[in-house]
Amino acid sequence: MPVNQEKGFYATGRRKESTARVWLKEGTGVVIINKRPIDDYFGRETSKMILHQPLQVLEQLGKVDITASVRGGGLSGQAGAIRHGLARALCEFNPEFRAPLKKAGFLTRDARVVERKKYGQPGARRRFQFSKR
């Protein structure tokens, strides 16, 4: 669903507990996350690398401006959510991008979430120490 031209193309991405709203428009490669530059928001290089993966697959690095609003979860989940949203926005931007992004697995929502803690034990799978006597 393309939005008005000054905002560009919009998509939502999710990963673990994080939700990212991503806007994409033609530009010079500026990446803004929660009104901060990418270098200020993500300290880890791996998070920046994860975010740039869809652009590298499509050879679009430096050709589009990205604005993302992300909330929930930790920095790793947020990077994954932005990647998911960016891939979906790129599909809106140009439908020909869908096949390479799908092949790379960027359009699939990673359904893995933290397993819940069960009653009568200290964690999701951990058991209290067993004592025979």
Angle, CA 97 vertex, CA 45 and CA 37 arms, to 5°: 30
pLDDT by residue for the chain (133 residues), tens only, comes to 455 556 689 999 999 999 999 999 999 999 999 999 999 999 999 999 999 999 999 998 989 999 999 999 999 999 999 999 999 999 999 999 999 999 999 999 999 999 999 999 999 999 999 999 8
Smallest CA-to-CA distance from 78 within 10, 35, 20 is with 20
Domain ranges for the chain: 9-104
Fold topology of 9-104: Ribosomal Protein S5; domain 2 (3.30.230)
* Local structure of residue 6 (DSSP, 8 states): T
Tell me the DSSP string of 22-77: EEEEESS--EEETTEEHHHH--SHHHHHHHHHHHHHHT-TTTEEEEEEEESS-HHH
